[in-house]
Amino acid sequence: MNENGPRDADVSAFEPPEPHVIVLFGATGDLARRKLLPGLLHLERAGQLADCRIVGTSLEERTSAEFRNFAREACEDFGRDEFDEENWRNFERRLTYVSQAAGPAGPAGLSTAVAEAEASIGQPARRLHYLSVPPKAATPVIQMLGEAGLVGRSRIVMEKPFGTDLASARALNEKVHQVFPEERVFRIDHFLGKEAAQNILALRFANGLFEPIWNRNHIDHIQIDVPETLSVDGRGKFYDATGAFRDMVVTHLLQILGFVAMEPPVALEPQSITEEKNKVFRSLQPILPEHVVRGRYEGYRDEDGVSSDSKTETFIAIKASIDNWRWSGVPFYLRTGKQMAEGARIISIAFRPPPKSMFPADSGVGQYGPDHLTFDLDESSRISLSFYGKRPGAGMQLDKASLQFSLSDAGKEGDTLRAYERLIRDAMGGDHTLFTTADGIERLWAASAPMLEDPPDVQIYDRGSWGPKDIHDLIQPYRWRLPFERRWRD
């Protein structure tokens, strides 16, 4: 980030991709409707689809015309730009659909649909298979791609969760590797596609200011806090089989922790970044049940698709540790949950107080907690640095002040790609930088084993609260940073 704004996701920085056929599995599902189809429409508008066809497929019986209607509604409801007829017409002509319902289609039907899409491009195209399907459907889809002869010239994008524990993640990775080598697998974690997540790397490694203090000598503790006001919103069946840990922590929160805690990579390229992130995961200490609080919001068991004796957590808070030279003794607190008081995505770095204070106790020193560097992973990609300063006037009273920066200050907000857009575009270009690897994922499942094998009981929390009361004991002697004492400035 500099005064010219964040260039990394500036769409003009991308070369147009090679011709592509994107095969969208789960094309009529929730993610496709909310994020993937509107995201692809935005890539159209940004001139990033070039010669591309999109073959939608799912278990639902639909014609291509019906699928286009579905996609149009999805884009109207969830698109980020004002709906534009001309943009839509350009996009719509790329879309076809083939059903995977029992019947005539099957692998042969898919293979024909892809061949037709390729023929309409008129030159050899790459294939990007996007698996927006539940975990247990991933292996059959991969096998089917083999049977349909659709592995050549292909990359595959896989949605989380990647397995449900170490054994299942290993088994899944093995099955995937029987068909696709690791370099053609893109495990997507949309948090890493967020502009603000990449800004962590920029801030840490493009400046001489922060890196010298980015360690146990100067940092007291770190919080990665992602409360959500959402309920399970029509995703009860998926969520009840998944829970907050698998839905959010082992994926998004720990991946962000990887960016916050990694050593400087040798270069800004996929292999170096992955190596450093995976080293952090190797140093992550086993997550012990006594360092975990699990919660369930009042009334969760009455949600559609949720079992009436569900033991699934809708909230989780964890104290994690990284046992290496940089981070030994610095606790990392992670928290996320549904139906909480506020929605936020905050990373908060708390700095140690000065070794000795010359300010009298009644001056206000330390009264508002430690100095913090705070990242907001929201679209506005805000950063704040808070510190004590002198209150203007007589005497020496101290107040907490902050320096704040937001993407809108750079005047570049409109140029950026949203997480899914960015990541689809990266996968089309074969860029692994923001994707996760089989090794990294397996390591995270290994560290999670003690908690998964003996999970603490779920405690009930009120809707609209900050979680079960035990979260305060978990973070002692510190305090949760949220709710903020002071709001972000507009």
Closest CA to 407 of 417, 421, 399: 417
Residue pair 288/451 in contact by the 8 Å Cβ criterion:
yes
Smallest separation, CB 101 to ligand BG6 (Å): 26
* Residue 99 backbone dihedrals phi, psi, to 5 degrees: -85, 150
Q: How many residues bind ligand BG6 (CB under 6 A)?
A: 5
| Site for ligand BG6 contains 42 (CB under 6 A) | no
Token pair, residue 294, equals 């699990």
Minimum Å gap between C-beta 152 and ligand BG6 is: 31
Tokens coding 339? 């139906």
CB of 244 to ligand BG6, least distance (A): 8
Q: Counting contacts by CB under 6 A, is residue 228 touching ligand BG6?
A: yes
Please report the sign of the dihedral spanned by the C-alpha atoms of residue 299, residue 300, residue 305, residue 309: negative
Nearest in space to 488 (alpha carbons), one of 79, 189, 196, 80: 196
Q: HSE (CB half, 13 Å, CA atoms) of 192?
A: 26
Q: Which residue's CB is nearer to ligand BG6, number 228 or number 371?
A: 228
- The verdict on 345 binding ligand BG6 (CB under 6 A) reads yes
For residues 67 and 98, what is the distance between their CA atoms, to the nearest angstrom? 9
CB of 316 to ligand BG6, least distance (A): 12
- Find the shortest distance in angstroms from Cβ 41 to ligand BG6: 18
240 binds ligand BG6 (CB under 6 A): no
Identify which of residues 42 and 94 has a Cβ nearer to ligand BG6 in the complex. 42
**Catalytic residue selected from 252, 291, 372, 432:** 252
For ligand BG6, which residue has the nearest CB?
247
Min dist. Cβ of residue 290 to ligand BG6 (A):
26
Q: Does 418 bind ligand BG6 (CB under 6 A)?
A: no
Q: Is 252 a catalytic residue?
A: yes
* Member of 65, 171, 230, 403 binding ligand BG6 (CB under 6 A): 230
Our CB check for ligand BG6 shows the closer of 139 and 231 to be 231
Contacts (CB under 6 A) with ligand BG6, residues 154-213: 190
**376: its two tokens:** 């907001």
Q: Does 247 bind ligand BG6 (CB under 6 A)?
A: yes
Nearest distance, CB of residue 78 and ligand BG6, angstroms: 12
> Known catalytic residues?
252
Residues binding ligand BG6 (CB under 6 A): 190, 228, 230, 247, 345
